[in-house]
Each structure stands twice: as structure tokens, then as C-alpha cells.
Amino acid sequence: MKKIICALVLVLIAKASFAGVNLQDMDFTRVNPSVRIKDITDVEGARGNQLTGVGLVTGLNGTGDNSQMAVQMMRNVMRNFGVTLDARSVRTRNLAVVSLTAELPPYVRPGQKIDVIASTMGNASSLQGGVLMQTPLRAADGKVYAVAQGPVVVGGSSAQGAATSRTQNVPTSARLPGGAIVEREVPSDYTMGGQVALLLREPDFTTSQRIADAINRVYGVVAYATDAGRVEINLPGQYLQAPNAFLANAGNLEIEPDQTAKVAVNERSGTIVMGGNVKISAVGVAHGNLTVTVSETPYAVQPESMSEGRTVVMNRTDITTDEEGGSVIAMPSTTTVRDMVRVLNSLGARPRDIIEILQAIDKAGALHGELVVM
């Protein structure tokens, strides 16, 4: 059976099947769920730090480097221990020069441990079974913030015989879980003059204003959105000496974040993800033997007499399918994700057909949203 890979609809279908709920009865009118403020924002001033280093992995079973770089590093290491080696006497097939990267999160104190990623820099074929020698990790300012050491964990493997070889995943990249000890913390100054600021991970003017409104409803007029990605907050009087308590309480307030209408497609894998607020204008599309017609049928809803209601113009959706002579679908111009997925499923369209249709609709100016080709 042909399937359309749509992440949003698949999740909803899975939930409906487990709960015994008919998909047609589900509420698709709410595009965005209510989320906590702490789940979509970061605190300004509380930032992490990227760390890098170059180290030497030992104990490899003949899968290491034979480059001049490995020879020189081995000589430098041994010189630190008072041993002078001649370049011709160094054998490096059990050694590998690796680059180390780590992320030092905010609020981490000296003595705590962080994960490290190691990847080969030379022609080593595998890091399996290796042990990283003590290596300092520096930030962009040149200061040492952590020291890494210990056995590496490889997620891949490789084997080689006289006539053939086999490699699974990537054996030249490895992890050191908790492999680095923090020596210096990153200063986190997130309270300046009785103020804190929240940074949106997905900047949006509507979302930033909703965050400010949610905080103001609880604490008074103390927050305002400075732009699409930042909300500045004047700490209430009772929280001037306890900003942590304010951030903990305010972070649990819930809002409905807004987002720009987007359609993301991946032509290589045939993946299509459509945001719930994507709309399509009235268009007619013919793709091979697949014909799609989108039209609008407005009608008026009259209130009862002597009531305080008002006349509202609504759209009527009529869907018909004729697979023999070509599938023809009629929908209003305010086509939503649910309507589009239902129509394309009824036509049995393939994912790559859908991608081409969406690209053509976007070129015609009828796709009201951003088309992102991955």
C-alpha cells in the first residue's frame, strides 16, 4: 500500500489507534499545543561553552595512524615524561591522533563530569579498544575548562581479511561518557539590575508577546517583548533576592506558541512534513493521470431572530473521487493539513508525486507558507 510520510498525521494516527479513537472525530482545529515557557526559551546570560582539544588514543589493535603527525605527538608525550625517542624508533599502529569536542553546559561546577566526542584526524581505521591519554580541553579564549581521559566507546566496527573488508557504522568516531572533569566553570550572570531576559529558541513576534502576556497576568506588568526572540522581565519586588524562584515559577506557565507556516520536504527520502497552519488557495493541479481541483464554496450562517449573533461566512467542503476517469477532488481555498493529507491519501499519491505537486503549488503562489527543501 502506498503511503505518504507525514510526521504529524502519523503521530495522530498512532495515538488514535492506541486509544481506540476514530481519527475523523479528533480535533484538528488546534494547531499548536500548550507548552511551558521553560520548554521554548533559554535564559539570557546562562550559556554553555564549546571546548576542543587534540589528544592521543592508545591501545589500538594495529588500527592506528602511521602518519608523521602521530609520530610527532608520541615523541612530545614521551618527552614530557623525560623520555627522548628517535623518530625512526616510534611505532604508531597502536596509536591514533584524535580531535576532541565537548559542550560545557551552564551551571556546571568544577569537579563535575561531561561527555566528550573523539574522532580520528589521521588515517587510523578504528578506535575500538582504545584509551585516551590525558588531554586538556580549551575554549575559544584559550583557557582550559576541562581535562579528558579514559576508555573510548565506539559505536561501529571494522574487520579486514586477505581479500575483503567489512565496516559497520563509523569506527573512527567514539564517545567518552563522563570522560572529562570540569576544571573551570563558565560565569552565568543572568540578572542585571533586577532584570532577566528570556530568549526564544524559535523567534516569533506572536509567541514572544504571548510569553509577556502570560507573565503579566500573574505578576503584574513586569514583562515586555523587545523583539521576536527576546522577552525582558523586571523582577517583582519579592523576587529581587530570589531570581531562581521567579524563573522556576514563571517557566511553568503555559502558552500556545505560534509558528510560521512551513512545509518541509526531503526529496531523497520522500519525507513530507506540513505544519498545521499551512493553507492553500484555490488551484487546479494535474500530475500525470492524477488530477486535483481545489475550489471554494462559501455559504452564510444566519443567527436566530432576536438573538445577539451575527451573520458569518463559512466554507463548505465537498469531496468526490473518480479513480477510473481521473481523480477529481473539490475543496475550499482554505485547505488545511488535514484536508490535504486526506485528499492525497484518497488518490494513492506517492510521496515524490506529492513533493512535485507542492513545489508546483508554491511556484503558482497558492501555497501560503514557506516551502523548505531539505
Q: What is the DSSP letter of 323?
A: S
Residues 134/183, Cβ–Cβ less than 8 Å: no
Q: Which of 68, 72, 160, 169 minimizes the C-alpha distance to 122? A: 68
Grid coordinates given for 231: 522577552
pLDDT in tens, 222-240: 999 999 999 999 999 889 8
Helix (H, G, I), strand (E, B) or coil at 348: coil
| Distance separating alpha carbons of residues 243 and 147, to the nearest angstrom | 32
With cell 479528533, the residue in question is 26
Grid coordinates given for 302: 444566519
Q: Would the pLDDT of 5 be above 60?
A: no
Average pLDDT, the chain: 77
Residue 179 parent element (H or E): strand 173-182
Helix (H, G, I), strand (E, B) or coil at 351: helix
pLDDT in tens, 27-53: 545 567 789 999 999 999 888 889 999
Q: Mean pLDDT highest for which of 4-13, 130-139, 281-290?
A: 130-139
Q: What's the pLDDT score for residue 162?
A: 44
| Distance separating alpha carbons of residues 167 and 93, to the nearest angstrom | 19
| H helices, E strands: number in the chain | 6, 24
With cell 591522533, the residue in question is 97
The CA-to-CA distance between both ends of the chain, in Å, stands at 25
| Distance separating alpha carbons of residues 261 and 369, to the nearest angstrom | 5
| Distance separating alpha carbons of residues 36 and 52, to the nearest angstrom | 34
Cα R_g (the chain), whole angstroms? 30
pLDDT in tens, 178-226: 999 999 988 777 887 889 999 999 899 999 999 999 999 999 999 999 9
Q: Would the pLDDT of 85 be above 80?
A: no
Ranking 72-81, 98-107, 325-334 by mean pLDDT, the lowest is 325-334
Tell me the whole-structure pTM to 2 decimals: 0.66
Q: Would the pLDDT of 299 be above 80?
A: no
| Distance separating alpha carbons of residues 160 and 166, to the nearest angstrom | 6
Pairing type for strands 195-200 and 230-234 reads antiparallel
